């Protein structure tokens, strides 16, 4: 009796099928891998752009609050420093309405202790121990040099002066103890309250952009992360990482007293670099 005929695949057919399945799998893998790679590339670029934009916005926010004529650059355009303005108003320099006494008017001819503002500060309701009053500073040296050494040149109240803020007939009244003589009147009767400097230091070797505040005024300007971090009580925050290039330029402006600060920053990740440029108008009317 003959054995029953058996049907099946030959070894050659199995090999052909395996090869075809491998080709199909490779093609399907490419179809899946390429969109995933493109998505990861796009996500990486977006994260770099978001980080750079947030850093530039934070710098711009501080620059807009900076004391006029207090911006200075150092470290071959990789360090930026400014003095933070807490509030500002216009001082009373002549009698008017209910305000006719010497205590209501700021006298520039002698050391004065009391005067009113034309109205009130927009944010301040009291003055702290680290607050100083500035009238008519025209250059960074008016602040950093004189405040650091307490030279008392008649532009910014010294650290030994005590400032008090009260209300007088609907206007804010400032008391300075001991008496202080401001040397020059501001054409716009502007007075600013400051609380300290702010620095941004870009370190491309470490790939970081760092913000510093709550430190004492320094002269000359500190442009090193190591030296800045060593200052007493200084506070720091990482603004951006993966920084591969950084350049800050400052044009103080013309007779109109308006300046422009230009910030260029590049961030790099996995061999890909994005670069952003931002310009901020600087109000330098003292």
Please state, in angstroms and rounded to a whole number, the distance separating the CA atoms of residues 190 and 223.
31
* DSSP assignment letter at 117: B
User: What's the pLDDT tens digit per position in 231-283?
Assistant: 999 999 999 999 999 999 999 876 456 789 999 999 999 888 999 999 999 98
The neighbour count for residue 192, using CB atoms within 10 Å, is: 22
Query: Quick check: 263 and 278 in contact, CB under 8 A?
Result: yes
Query: Quick check: 270 and 44 in contact, CB under 8 A?
Result: yes
At residue 67, φ and ψ (nearest 5 deg) are -60, 135
* Strand duo 235-241 + 208-213: pairing: antiparallel
CA distances from residue 157 to 109, 133, 225 in whole angstroms, order as listed = 16, 6, 29
Nearest CA to 44 among 277, 272, 275, 276?
A: 272
Please state, in angstroms and rounded to a whole number, the distance separating the CA atoms of residues 212 and 198.
6
| pLDDT over 70 (residue 205) | yes
| pLDDT over 90 (residue 131) | yes
The neighbour count for residue 28, using CB atoms within 10 Å, is: 10
CA angle 36, 40, 45 (to 5 degrees): 150
Give the helix ranges, DSSP H, for the chain: 11-64, 144-149, 225-229
Q: What is the pLDDT of residue 208?
A: 97
* Strand duo 132-134 + 190-203: pairing: antiparallel
CA distances from residue 143 to 43, 69, 135, 276 in whole angstroms, order as listed = 44, 9, 11, 31
Query: Quick check: 85 and 193 in contact, CB under 8 A?
Result: yes
Sole residue written with tokens 């001819």: 109
User: What's the pLDDT tens digit per position in 11-21?
Assistant: 776 777 777 77
Please state, in angstroms and rounded to a whole number, the distance separating the CA atoms of residues 174 and 104.
9
pLDDT band for position 9 (cuts 50, 70, 90): low
Q: What is the pLDDT of residue 44?
A: 86
Sole residue written with tokens 């911006």: 71
Least confident of 4-8, 68-72, 92-96, 180-184: 4-8
CA angle 47, 52, 56 (to 5 degrees): 150
Please state, in angstroms and rounded to a whole number, the distance separating the CA atoms of residues 35 and 44.
14
Q: What is the pLDDT of residue 77?
A: 82
| Two tokens, residue 211 | 């913000």
| pLDDT over 70 (residue 133) | yes
């Amino acid at each position: 009796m003959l054995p029953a005929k058996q049907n099946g695949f030959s070894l050659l057919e199995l090999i052909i099928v395996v090869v075809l399945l491998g080709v199909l799998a490779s093609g399907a893998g490419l179809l899946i891998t390429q969109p995933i790679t493109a998505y990861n590339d796009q996500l990486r670029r977006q994260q770099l752009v978001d980080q750079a934009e947030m850093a530039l916005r934070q710098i711009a926010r501080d620059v807009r609050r900076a004391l006029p004529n207090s911006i200075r650059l150092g470290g071959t355009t990789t360090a930026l420093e400014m003095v933070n303005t807490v509030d500002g108003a216009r001082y009373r320099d002549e009698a008017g309405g209910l305000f006719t006494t010497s205590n209501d008017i700021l006298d520039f001819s002698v050391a004065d202790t009391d005067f009113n503002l034309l109205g009130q500060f927009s944010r301040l309701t009291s003055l702290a121990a680290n607050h100083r009053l500035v009238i008519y500073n025209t250059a960074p040296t008016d602040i950093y040099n004189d405040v650091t050494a307490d030279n008392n040149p008649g532009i910014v109240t010294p650290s030994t002066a005590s400032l008090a803020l009260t209300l007088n007939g609907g206007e804010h009244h400032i008391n300075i103890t001991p008496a202080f003589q401001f040397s020059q009147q501001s054409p716009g009767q502007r007075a600013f309250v400051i609380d300290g400097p702010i620095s941004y230091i870009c370190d491309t070797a470490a790939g970081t952009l760092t913000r510093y505040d709550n430190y004492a005024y320094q002269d000359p300007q500190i442009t090193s992360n190591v030296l800045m971090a060593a200052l007493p009580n200084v506070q720091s925050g990482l603004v951006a990482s993966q920084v591969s290039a950084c350049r800050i330029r400052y044009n103080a402006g013309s007779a109109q007293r308006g300046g422009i600060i230009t910030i260029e920053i590049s961030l790099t990740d996995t061999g890909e670099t994005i670069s952003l440029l931002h310009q901020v108008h600087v109000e330098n009317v003292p």
